[in-house]
C-alpha cells in the first residue's frame, strides 16, 4: 500500500490539512512546519499521483525556469531551490538558457514553449520594461533578478543598491579608500551591473570620497578571467587600489588568483569583496567576503508566486518582493584568524 497524506501527517506531527497545503500549495504554511512535512515526505518516500492531478486541471505539470548562464554557480543554486520547491507542488521544471541575449529573452517571455509549460520564471538580463509591457502571452510569468521593471508581474529580487552599499561600507570601515569596482558593463540595459555600480558610487559619496572612473573596470563577461585581467589592469595604475568590490564572486575569485600571481597579499595589500556567496568562495584561499542573497528563498518565493497564479490562490496585485541579503565577512577582508 502506498504512503498516504495521513501517514505523512502522523510522522510530521501535523494535520492532514496541513500536509495537503504543503503538497498542493493551497495555503501558506510556516517554514518550520513546511520543513517537517518535507522531511516526513522524504523519509516515507511519498509520491503523489501527479499525472491525474494535472489532467484534472488541464495542465502539463511543467513550469520553465529561464536563466542567463549555465556555468555560473549562482544560477545553479537558484535552479536547485526552484526545482525542489516545484517538486513539492507536483511540478517539473524545464530549464531554459537565454545567454543573457535580449532576443532569446523576448522569445521566452512572449510564449515560446507555451504549449508545453504551465508557467514561466524568467531571470532577464537585457529585457526592457517596454518588452515586458508589450507581452501578449497569457502564460503566467514571474520575474527574478535585480532589474527594475515596475511591470504587472510578480518580481522577486534583492535590493542591489543597498547590498552594494553594505559591501562598500565594510571596506570603508576597514580604512580602505582607493576601492575599485570590477564588473561594470557598458550596456545600460544590463541593470544588475548598473545598480551595483550605483551602490558603489553612493557609498563613496556618503564617505566623502570622489568617484574615480579610473578605478572602475568594465568587463566583457562576468567570469574568473575577467576578474584576473581587471586586477592586472588596476595594479598597473600609478596609484593602484587598496581594495576591490567585484560584481560577482566569479570575478572576485579571478581577482584573488591574479593577486597571488602579482605577489600581493590579501587582504594586507588589497582586500576583496564579491557578490552572490557561491560555494566556491567558502573554500577559496583566502575565503571570500561576499554579499549573500538568500537564493533558496528567491527560488521558493518565485515558485510559490507562480503556482499561486496558476491555481488561483494568489489573486492580489503583482508584487515587487525584496528578499533579504547579508554581508558574510571572511579572510579576503579580515585576514586569516590567529592560530590557537
pLDDT digits (tens, 9 = 90+) for 209-237: 999 999 999 998 899 999 999 999 999 99
73 and 41 co-located in one domain: no
Q: Is the pLDDT of residue 197 over 70?
A: yes
Q: Do 133 and 109 belong to one domain?
A: yes
DSSP 269-282: T-EEEEES--HHHH
In sequence order, what are the beta bridge partners of 218? 184
Per-residue pLDDT, 26? 54
Question: How far from the centroid of its chain's Cα atoms is residue 104's Cα?
Answer: 20
The set of cell numbers assigned to 221 is 563577461
Lookup: cell for 49:
499521483
**Parent domain of 43:** 1-48
Mean pLDDT taken over the chain = 89
Strand partners, 274: 290
Please state the pTM of the whole predicted model: 0.81
CATH number of the domain residue 39 falls in = 1.10.260.40
Question: Domain count of the chain?
Answer: 3
Q: How sure is the predictor about 13, in pLDDT bands with cuts at 50, 70 and 90?
A: very high
Q: CATH number, domain at 106?
A: 3.40.50.2300
Q: How far apart are CA 232 and CA 162, in angstroms?
A: 28
Amino acid at each position: 500500500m502506498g504512503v498516504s497524506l495521513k501517514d505523512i501527517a502522523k510522522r510530521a506531527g501535523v494535520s492532514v490539512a496541513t500536509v495537503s497545503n504543503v503538497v498542493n500549495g493551497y495555503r501558506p504554511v510556516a517554514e518550520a512546519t513546511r520543513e517537517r512535512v518535507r522531511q516526513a515526505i522524504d523519509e516515507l518516500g511519498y509520491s503523489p499521483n501527479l499525472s491525474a492531478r494535472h489532467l484534472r486541471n488541464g495542465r502539463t505539470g511543467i513550469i520553465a525556469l529561464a536563466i542567463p548562464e549555465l556555468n555560473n554557480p549562482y544560477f545553479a543554486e537558484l535552479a536547485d531551490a526552484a526545482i525542489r520547491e516545484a517538486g513539492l507542488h507536483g511540478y517539473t521544471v524545464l530549464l531554459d538558457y537565454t545567454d543573457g541575449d535580449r532576443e532569446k529573452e523576448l522569445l521566452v517571455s512572449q510564449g515560446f514553449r507555451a504549449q508545453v509549460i504551465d508557467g514561466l520564471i524568467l531571470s532577464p538580463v537585457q529585457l526592457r520594461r517596454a518588452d515586458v509591457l508589450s507581452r501578449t502571452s497569457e502564460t503566467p510569468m514571474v520575474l527574478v533578478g535585480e532589474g527594475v521593471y515596475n511591470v504587472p508581474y510578480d518580481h522577486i529580487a534583492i535590493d542591489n543598491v543597498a547590498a552594494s552599499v553594505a559591501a562598500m561600507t565594510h571596506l570603508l570601515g576597514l580604512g580602505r579608500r582607493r576601492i575599485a569596482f570590477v564588473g561594470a558593463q557598458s550596456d545600460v540595459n544590463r541593470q544588475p551591473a548598473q545598480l551595483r555600480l550605483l551602490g558603489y558610487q553612493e557609498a563613496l559619496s556618503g564617505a566623502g570620497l570622489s568617484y574615480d572612473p579610473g578605478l572602475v573596470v568594465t568587463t566583457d563577461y562576468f567570469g574568473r578571467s575577467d576578474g584576473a585581467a581587471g586586477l592586472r589592469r588596476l595594479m598597473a595604475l600609478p596609484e593602484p587600489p587598496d581594495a576591490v568590490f567585484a560584481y560577482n564572486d566569479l570575478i572576485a575569485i579571478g581577482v584573488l588568483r591574479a593577486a597571488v600571481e602579482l605577489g600581493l597579499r590579501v587582504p594586507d595589500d588589497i582586500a576583496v569583496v564579491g557578490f552572490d556567496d557561491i560555494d566556491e568562495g567558502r573554500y577559496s584561499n583566502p575565503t571570500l567576503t561576499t554579499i549573500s542573497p538568500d537564493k533558496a528563498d528567491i527560488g521558493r518565493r518565485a515558485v510559490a508566486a507562480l503556482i499561486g497564479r496558476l491555481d488561483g490562490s494568489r489573486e492580489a496585485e503583482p508584487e515587487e518582493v525584496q528578499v533579504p541579503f547579508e554581508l558574510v565577512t571572511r579572510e579576503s577582508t579580515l585576514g586569516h584568524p590567529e592560530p590557537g
